[in-house]
């Protein structure tokens, strides 16, 4: 496992110098066959629009690191109220209450390690496979008919004046927007530190929940698990760079993103050639190939809910 040693300056550079690789206005709405999350690209756009965001995220990172070092973490139950905002033009986009509840059920299982495939965790990683201990409760469903064929990744779906739905009390609710995003994007999240006016997670309706409009190989609800991980301050496991850092000490260094269903063991060519944790929710594999968070990731997520943390208003 890699060691994590980053100075404050290095963390600031990490947040302000990521490559922008996704067209945020691409309107292609065809089914996706290769996972693509726009969270990092949206972050890059937000950093360009608001340079002070890098400073806030650097402060959050410093707080997170200190909380983990001092074991000052949430030591009780965190329950996240969820508001689901459905924007639809077609009947398929107007997903059912049952499909929405199925997604909440997946989140609850994945974040408490009660998912049936958790037992598939290889012995090599069984010692760090974690029960995050966070649960989710569906609080409200808001629906709105629209004429838009796709929403892109510029947060339009979160803006009522632009035809979207404004977030409901985002400091105390996790807002999920379900709509057609387009551009080959399954979903994206806002990291802690961004504006409350756009805080939450957007997921394409074709990859939300277990039934209805959900399309294989992204029909097991893991897109939301991945994106909520970002919302709770997790990075992609490969650090969005070749042999990059995800700011977690117990995940192996990955060459890059993994796709599909990789054969195990899959070795990295990075320093030490570790076996990659391809089954981690923060990789890019198919839904049926990801089924665990690590203990280090749990610590990062827990740190944002303690007093002084970026999402302390959700904490116990």
Q: What is the DSSP string of 177-245?
A: EEE---TT--EEEPPTTS-GGG-SEEEEGGGSSSSTT--TTS-SSHHHHHHHHHHTTPPPTTTTSTT--
In contact, 107 and 223? CB cutoff 8 Å = no
* Averaged pLDDT, 265-286: 98
Among 30-34, 226-230, 267-271, which stretch is predicted with the lowest mean pLDDT?
A: 30-34
pLDDT tier, 19 (very low <50, low <70, confident <90, very high otherwise): very low
pLDDT above 50: residue 307: yes
* Averaged pLDDT, 25-43: 79
pLDDT above 90: residue 126: yes
pLDDT tier, 262 (very low <50, low <70, confident <90, very high otherwise): very high
pLDDT tier, 3 (very low <50, low <70, confident <90, very high otherwise): very low
227 catalytic? Reply is yes
pLDDT score recorded for residue 66: 87
pLDDT tier, 16 (very low <50, low <70, confident <90, very high otherwise): very low
- Bridge partners (DSSP) listed for residue 176: 84, 201
pLDDT above 80: residue 26: no
pLDDT score recorded for residue 316: 61
pLDDT above 80: residue 270: yes
pLDDT above 80: residue 146: yes
pLDDT above 90: residue 164: yes
pLDDT score recorded for residue 68: 80
Average per-residue pLDDT for the chain: 90
Following CA atoms 90, 181, 176, 146 in sequence, which dihedral angle do they give, to the nearest 10 degrees? Answer: -40
Neighbours of 46 (CB within 10 A): 19
Neighbours of 286 (CB within 10 A): 20
pLDDT digit string (tens) for 189-213?
999 999 999 999 999 999 999 988 8
Residue boundaries of the structural domains of the chain: 8-314
- The CATH number that domain 8-314 falls under is 3.40.390.10
Query: What proportion of the chain, given as a percentage, has pLDDT over 70?
Result: 89
pLDDT above 50: residue 21: no
* Averaged pLDDT, 240-247: 97
pLDDT score recorded for residue 77: 78
Residues 6+ apart with CB under 8 A from 186: 32, 35, 36, 37, 203, 204, 207, 218, 223
* Averaged pLDDT, 17-22: 38
In Å, how far are 103, 116, 133, 162, 262 from 110, measured between CA atoms?
Answer: 11, 9, 10, 34, 20
pLDDT tier, 266 (very low <50, low <70, confident <90, very high otherwise): very high
* Averaged pLDDT, 200-227: 95
pLDDT above 60: residue 215: yes
In Å, how far are 2, 14, 59, 117, 166 from 7, measured between CA atoms?
Answer: 16, 10, 12, 37, 37
* Averaged pLDDT, 4-13: 44
Q: Could you tell me which residue, 183 or 22, shows the higher pLDDT? A: 183
In contact, 67 and 309? CB cutoff 8 Å = yes
* Averaged pLDDT, 46-63: 94
Helices (H) and strands (E) in the chain, counts: 7, 7
| Given the residues 61, 93, 227, 276, the one annotated as active site | 227
Query: What proportion of the chain, given as a percentage, has pLDDT over 90?
Result: 79
In contact, 234 and 126? CB cutoff 8 Å = no
- Report, in this order, helix, strand and coil percent for the chain, each rounded to 5: 30, 15, 55
pLDDT score recorded for residue 211: 83
């Amino acid at each position: 496992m890699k060691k994590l040693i980053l100075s404050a300056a290095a963390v600031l550079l990490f947040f302000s110098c990521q490559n922008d690789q996704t067209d945020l206005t691409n309107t292609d709405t065809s089914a996706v066959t290769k996972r693509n999350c726009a969270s990092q690209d949206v972050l890059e756009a937000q950093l360009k629009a608001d340079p002070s965001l890098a400073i806030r995220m650097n402060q959050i990172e410093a707080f997170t690191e200190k909380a983990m070092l001092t074991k000052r973490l949430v030591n009780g139950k965190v329950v996240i109220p969820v508001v689901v905002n459905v924007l639809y033009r077609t009947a398929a986009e107007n997903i059912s209450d049952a499909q929405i509840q199925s997604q909440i059920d997946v989140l609850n299982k994945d974040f408490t390690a009660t998912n049936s495939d958790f037992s598939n965790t290889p012995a090599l990683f069984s010692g760090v496979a974690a029960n995050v201990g966070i649960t989710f409760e569906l609080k409200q469903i808001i629906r709105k008919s629209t004429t838009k064929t796709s929403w892109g990744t510029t947060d339009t779906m979160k803006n009522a004046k632009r035809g979207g739905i404004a977030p409901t009390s985002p400091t105390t609710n996790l807002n999920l927007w379900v709509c057609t995003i387009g551009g080959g994007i399954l979903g994206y999240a806002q990291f802690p530190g961004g504006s409350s006016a756009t805080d939450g997670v957007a997921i394409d309706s074709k990859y939300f929940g277990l039934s209805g409009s959900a399309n294989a190989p992204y029909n097991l609800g893991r897109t939301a698990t991945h994106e909520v991980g970002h919302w709770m301050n997790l990075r992609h496991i490969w650090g969005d760079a070749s042999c990059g850092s995800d700011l977690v000490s117990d995940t192996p260094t990955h060459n890059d993103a993994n796709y599909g269903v990789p054969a195990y063991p899959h070795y990295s060519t990075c320093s030490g050639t570790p076996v990659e944790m391809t089954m981690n929710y923060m990789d890019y594999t198919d839904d049926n190939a990801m089924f665990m968070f690590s203990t280090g990731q749990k610590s990062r997520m827990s740190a944002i809910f303690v007093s002084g943390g970026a999402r302390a208003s959700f904490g116990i």
